[in-house]
């Protein structure tokens, strides 16, 4: 039923729970993405992978902000388990699964929940998101629905509670969604329909900012190209006055998609030029050299020793720009040593208040922000 020769991985050629939202929004994306090579891991993705590993292994990252995020996830998931599964005096009796790939009973799809706790015929399922953008709410999150189906198939439970922990987006108690055997079967039927449509070689491509956000096929997708042509053709100023608010929102989403497409094109052009592939009219300019002082104290001692009257401490520091991120970490480390309960956010706030008289605050132009999770949430 599935062609696993194009891309073979632990999913065994099946759709994954993490891609259900995109599969629903753009049925043709599944077939298109399977023909694309796996992208190199971005810095953000690498950070997420590292933090997931710490959650799985019970270790702590070195960075204080990352360590605080991991600690919050552990504290929150334990509190939520106790709340929704019932008070548990002995956690040793709780069956816990971490990062185990599960397959739907009829092998429709698979998924890898980050953490599953099972107690008294109930399961609590957690998915960690370490990005800084809020994700779709639990009650309408298709990845969580798919994970509920998988956990109900794997574990002998009558209820499954699912939630997302995203410490860099919100530290509020997350929304929790409850699934019963009946609602799981309803979800299974929905996914059967979605997957059947996605399996069709003529499945429609429906580009949108949300559907294309993490799709590997977006740079080669003909539907994306057509959508970009449609939104960029004609007189934007004249058309804007005629467009409905919904049409303006559609144009905004496509504009964000165009930015990513343009960035992808630029990256590929740079790669070609580095590989000495000739592109008419383009060349790769040499990178700019940046001279950076890495040890300010040593630099001051050298220069002050040579020019004691001219390069004083005050004169030297007037040439320096304080890296606020590094200073935040330094101050938090000192406050943490004095008070183990000190939080990163509290240290940042304390530092800014303490140095208010010798600092400047600049406010940038406001950015556009999606309300309530955005379109198609």
d(CA 279, CA 295): 42
pLDDT score for 154: 93
pLDDT of residue 220: 78
> Which H/E stretch holds residue 315?
helix 313-317
Query: Could you list the pLDDT tens digit for every one of the 377 residues in the chain?
Result: 333 333 346 888 889 999 999 999 999 998 888 887 776 677 888 889 999 999 999 999 999 889 999 999 999 999 999 999 986 666 677 888 999 999 999 999 999 999 999 998 999 999 999 988 777 776 779 999 999 999 999 998 999 999 999 999 888 889 999 999 999 999 999 999 999 999 998 999 998 878 887 888 877 788 888 877 776 777 888 888 888 998 888 888 888 878 877 887 888 899 899 999 999 999 999 888 889 898 999 999 999 999 999 999 999 999 988 889 889 989 998 998 999 888 888 999 999 999 999 888 888 888 887 775 444 33
3-state helix, strand, coil in the chain (%, to 5): 50, 10, 40
Residue that is written with structure tokens 């559907």 in the block: 211
The H or E element that residue 326 is part of is helix 324-338
Distance CA 181, CA 215 (A): 32
Report the pLDDT value the prediction gives residue 87, as an integer from 0 to 100.
Answer: 63
User: Residue 163 corresponds to which tokens in the numbers above?
Assistant: 């939630």
Note the pLDDT tens digit of each residue in 225-240. 887 777 677 788 888 8
CA-closest candidate to residue 53, choices 161, 159, 128: 128
Q: Is 283 left (phi over 0), alpha (psi -120 to 50) or beta?
A: beta
Q: Which residues contact 64 (CB under 8 A, 6 or more apart)?
A: 329, 332, 333, 336, 344
For residue 147, what pLDDT is reported? 96
What pLDDT shows up at residue 6?
39
DSSP codes, 60-103: --SSHHHHHHHHHHHHHHHHHHHHHH---S-GGGSEEE-S--EE
The pTM of this model reads 0.73
The per-residue pLDDT for 181 is 95
């Amino acid at each position: 039923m599935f062609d696993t020769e194009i891309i073979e991985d632990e999913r065994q050629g099946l759709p994954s729970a993490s891609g259900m939202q995109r599969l629903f929004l753009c049925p043709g994306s599944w077939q298109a993405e399977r023909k694309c090579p796996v992208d190199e891991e971005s810095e953000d993705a690498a950070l997420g992978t590292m933090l997931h590993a710490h959650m799985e292994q019970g270790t702590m990252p070195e960075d204080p902000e990352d360590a605080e995020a991991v600690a919050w996830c552990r504290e929150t998931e334990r509190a939520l388990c106790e709340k929704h599964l019932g008070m548990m005096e002995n956690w040793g009796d709780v069956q816990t699964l971490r990062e185990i790939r599960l397959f739907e009973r009829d092998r429709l799809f698979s998924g890898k929940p980050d953490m599953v706790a099972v107690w008294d015929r109930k399961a609590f399922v957690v998915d960690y998101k370490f990005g800084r953008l809020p994700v779709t709410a639990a009650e309408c999150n298709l990845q969580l629905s798919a994970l509920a189906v998988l956990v109900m198939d794997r574990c002998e439970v009558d209820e499954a509670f699912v939630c997302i922990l995203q410490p860099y987006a919100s530290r509020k108690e997350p929304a929790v969604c409850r699934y019963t055997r009946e609602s799981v079967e309803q979800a299974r039927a929905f996914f059967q329909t979605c997957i059947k449509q996605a399996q069709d070689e003529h499945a429609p491509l429906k580009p949108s900012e949300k559907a294309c956000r993490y799709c590997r096929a977006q740079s080669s997708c003909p539907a994306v190209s057509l959508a970009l042509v449609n939104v960029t053709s004609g007189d934007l100023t004249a058309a804007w006055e005629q467009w409905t608010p919904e049409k303006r929102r559609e144009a905004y989403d496509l504009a964000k998609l165009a930015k990513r497409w343009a960035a992808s094109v630029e990256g590929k052009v740079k790669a070609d030029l580095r590989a000495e592939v000739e592109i008419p009219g383009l060349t790769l300019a040499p990178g700019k050299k940046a001279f950076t002082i890495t040890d300010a104290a040593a630099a001051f001692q050298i220069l002050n020793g040579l020019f004691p009257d001219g390069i004083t401490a005050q004169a030297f520091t007037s040439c320096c720009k304080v890296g606020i991120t590094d200073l935040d970490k330094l101050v938090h480390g000192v406050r943490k040593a004095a008070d183990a309960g000190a939080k990163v956010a509290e240290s940042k706030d304390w530092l800014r208040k303490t140095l208010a008289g010798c600092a400047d605050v600049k406010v940038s132009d406001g950015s556009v922000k999606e309300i309530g999770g955005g379109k198609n949430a």
